Chain A
């Protein structure tokens, strides 16, 4: 090669046999080997992305995704954009809402059902309100004025109101003041005939309103009212009130109709909540997961007292995880030291006592703790047999927090022992001997010389156990009873029972973030490449 360089001289670049410059050829070869290395990893990468990473990302999106209201009532949401939040929304909102709610197609009904469930997370009464309004919406569309009257004053719904009016319609005064209404009422088939109608002709309602309004304007209504009053005072008051409000009713029939279905629709608060929940992205699940919520002005406030459970639950999960980690640390340290300092033949034999639980099914170990700890179980029986406990004084050790902590400590102990053991095995015994020969007593030699060298093992084991403990599900679910439930169990609850998937996703994302931080620490401290298995 040196010969070749001399021959080529400094002016000409080094080339391969085929004339390509060496630099280019090298770059090409490096790139090719990079690609080859990557191609080996690619199938698994693709597999993990599709089967694992996408689902996780999908779940993260679900924690902020908020499609329900927008999918069910898009026009209403669009109209609500123009509402300033003062008083009730404009009529266009009511019109769009009734139209969208009245759509009886299969898909729309499902959308509305989902919207009801979504709104129900914000306020407990929404599901029934939406269901009720959905049933009424189609009828309102057919006959808005009838419902508007009821919404204006619910006495219009009373059984006696219309028949009384019908009877009065026979009088000449009524026919004179409200002629067309009287005519329409006379057409109303009442009584027992097979053609009998429950309610007056639909045109009656708008006609009555128009005529009442004009009768009040020209003063003729005052002539009719005393007559009605003689018959029925209540009805007279109702007619007068309706006459006064007639203009308003005719202008906004749908609003009155909807309020007639449920007075909640007449409260700005209801509409504010719908407007808040209609944005396509929401942080309300996250707020909910930390016991907070939006108030009516959109400020973040604490949840009502009885709903504040998640912060406490997160804290409990962290405390239990710390407790289990500390318990594992205390139990693992002496036996790791023993395993590491015994001669290999004995050490390996004892290591089996750690590895066997490690390889034994989680459910088997949980089952055995149930067998041991339950009130009719082995430990209680033994204590009773030995006379330490009386038969009716058996200790409750399972289906509570105690059971969860005992079983979790047992299950996670090998994860603490193994990394500690592998660190301790590398510590030369000569340090301790040196310390002793320099005059340190055994305790000081151990604490000042040996223990500092085991810190990497303590760190690795503790983080590993903590990460595993914080996401634990099976054991608390089986032996935790009421108070032994951790955050994972609530995620499962919202997934399977309450079906509040957004909240489950938000709780899961918070948990995941915590675990990733711990994992990052672990990587800094130990390195994932050094993770030891078995």
Chain B
């Protein structure tokens, strides 16, 4: 969007003013995230830049808050929990979601929009309602004594339910550009269903499946409301531990954890971006 040569002086002023406004908005978006990173190396237990830090004195920086995480039983436990629950719920969500997306992309499927609505609903219902409903239900499903609340299974199932819509949406989107003739070709050459699925369909939709899986993982990894209501002390995840930290005694350890999470999300973002590009290249779509 270069400035056109016929632009008048007023337009030129606006052009630069507009760029300035945009810069300010991008600043607003990104600075809150970036500001945490240097603060997590603060040698003092403060949440603000000390004068020493601003003068870049070496003693003003330290890794003590990172050491805090490593030495803290609770943080380590919650990191472990986050990965266990995240990976398990992603596996459930991805396998069920991919199968469903394959069905949803078939033209013959009856009542498609109703089914889609039901399958997407966990993404639409506000989390607080989901959490409340799951708390009631999982404490005594169908009035039985078989309580899933405060167990790993319960949290994993809940997170899997929250993650499936993302898998369904991304895989369905990938399947839009999928050439059905490839399945017919595979069948006509004598491949059975599983062979066709794993050798033909899967490699082509894999980018969609992986990005769906990443979405599902992030959903679980970042989720705190359901965990607040349903998980016991034993199942505390990283966000739950951060919540407790922010509510009770906010210590710079939280900033160190936050920095680690920012690194993780940057990596996830890069992966998703790579997958998207690969997918576009494979389908010959270029923007």
Q: Using a CB–CB distance below 8 Å, which chain A residues touch chain B?
A: 30, 33-34, 36-45, 47-49, 51-56, 58-59, 62, 331, 334-335, 338, 341-342, 344, 350, 352-357, 359-372, 374, 376-378, 381, 410, 413-414, 425, 436, 442, 467, 470-474, 478, 488, 491-492, 495-496, 501, 504-505, 508, 511-512, 515-516, 519, 523, 528-529, 531, 533-534
Binds A, one of B57-65, B69-77, B117-125: B117-125
B 219-234 to A, binary, CB cutoff 8 A, 1 in contact else 0: 0011011001100000
Q: B272 contacts A534, CB within 8 Å?
A: yes
Q: Does B132 belong to the interface (CB within 8 Å)?
A: yes
Which residues of chain B are within 8 angstroms of A42 by Cβ–Cβ distance? 103
Min CB gap B159→A, angstroms: 10
Contacts of A410 in B (CB 8 A): 28-29, 32
- Asked whether B258 is an interface residue with its Cβ less than 8 Å from the other chain, the reply is yes
Closest residue of chain A to B102 (Cβ to Cβ) is A40
Pick from A34, A54, A364, A473 the residue with the most CB of B within 10 Å: A364
List, in ascending order, chain B residues with CB within 8 A of A442's CB: 7, 11, 14
Q: By the criterion CB–CB under 8 Å, are B22 and A54 in contact?
A: no
Is the pair B132, A505 in contact by a Cβ cutoff of 8 Å?
yes
Known: A34-B110, A47-B161. 10 other contacts (CB 8 A): A44-B99, A56-B130, A59-B129, A338-B22, A377-B48, A381-B48, A425-B287, A471-B125, A504-B132, A528-B117
Q: Determine whether B78 belongs to the interface, using a CB cutoff of 8 Å to chain A.
A: no
Most buried by B among A59, A369, A478, A515: A59
B184 to chain A, nearest CB (A): 13
- Tell me the bound Cα distance from A378 to B53 in angstroms: 13
Select B269's contact among A359, A361, A472, beta carbons within 8 Å: A359
Hey, which bits of chain B sit against chain A, CB under 8 A? 1, 6-7, 11, 14, 18-19, 21-22, 25-26, 28-30, 32-33, 35-36, 39, 46-49, 92, 96-97, 99-100, 102-104, 106, 108-110, 113, 115-122, 124-130, 132-138, 141-142, 157-158, 160-161, 164, 166, 168-170, 172, 211, 215, 218, 221-222, 224-225, 228-229, 239, 242-243, 246-247, 250, 254-255, 258, 261-262, 265-266, 268-269, 272-273, 276, 287
Smallest beta-carbon distance B227→chain A, Å: 11
For A478, give the chain B residue with the smallest CB separation.
B246
- C-alpha spacing A413/B242, complex, angstroms: 23
How far is it, in angstroms, between the C-alpha of A374 and the C-alpha of B39 when the chains are bound?
Answer: 14
Selected from A36, A53, A367, the residue in CB contact (under 8 A) with B255 is A367
Closest to B4 in A: A436
A491 to B128, CA, bound (A): 8
Output the nearest chain B residue to A508 by Cβ-Cβ distance: B129
**Shortest CB distance A519–B (Å):** 5
With CB as the reference atom, state the residue of chain A lying closest to B221: A361
Which chain A residues lie closer than 8 Å to B130 at the CB level? 52, 55-56
Q: Decide: A370 near B32, CB < 8 A? Known: A30-B108, A40-B103, A52-B130.
A: no
Q: In the complex, A289→B255 CA distance in Å? A: 39
Chain A residues lying within 8 Å of B104, measured Cβ to Cβ, are 41
Residue in B22, B142, B168, B250 whose CB lies within 8 Å of A334? B22
**CB-defined contacts of B103 to chain A, threshold 8 Å:** 37-42
Given A59-B136, A355-B269, answer yes or no on A367-B29 (Cβ-Cβ < 8 Å): no
Jot down 8 A-B pairs with beta carbons below 8 A, ordered by A: A44-B119, A48-B164, A334-B21, A338-B18, A353-B26, A356-B265, A368-B33, A470-B126
B29 touching A55 by the CB < 8 A rule?
no
Structural contact, B48 and A62, CB atoms closer than 8 A: no
| A474 contact set on B, CB distance < 8 A | 224-225, 243
**A371 adjacent to B47 (CB under 8 Å):** yes
What is the distance, in angstroms, from B250's C-beta to the closest C-beta of chain A?
A: 7
Per the bound structure, the CA–CA distance linking A381 and B14 in Å amounts to 33
Smallest CB separation, B272 vs chain A (Å): 6
- A54 near B137 (CB under 8 angstroms)? yes
Closest A-B pairs by Cβ, 8 of them: A471-B126, A40-B103, A55-B137, A44-B100, A41-B103, A55-B133, A341-B1, A59-B133
Name the residue on A nearest B30 (C-beta): A353
Residue on A nearest B31 in the bound complex, by CB: A372
Q: How far is the CA of A508 from the CA of B121 in the complex (A)?
A: 15
Asked whether A467 and B29 contact (CB < 8 A) given A58-B136, A367-B254, the answer is no
**Bound CA–CA A49/B22 (angstroms):** 45
Asked if A491 and B132 sit within 8 Å, CB to CB, the answer is yes
- Asked if B128 contacts A471 (CB within 8 A), the reply is yes
B48 x A45 contact (CB < 8 A): no
Chain B nearest CB, measured from A152 CB (Å) = 46
Give the residues in chain B near A366, CB-CB below 8 Å.
Answer: 246
Measured CB to CB, the closest approach of chain B to A429, in angstroms, equals 9
Contacts of B246 in A (CB 8 A): 363, 366-367, 370, 478
Contact of B247 among A49, A56, A338, A478 (CB under 8 A): A478
- Inter-chain CA distance A471–B225, complex, in Å, is 12
Complex contact B36–A371 (CB within 8 A)? yes
By a CB distance below 8 angstroms, the chain B residues around A359 are: 218, 265-266, 268-269, 272
Check A515 against B124 for contact (C-beta < 8 Å): yes
Residues in A whose Cβ lies below 8 Å from that of B169: 531, 533
- A53-B118, A478-B246 given as contacts; is B136 within 8 A of A338 (CB)? no
B15: nearest chain-A partner, CB-CB:
A442
Complex: chain A residue closest to B268, CB-CB:
A359
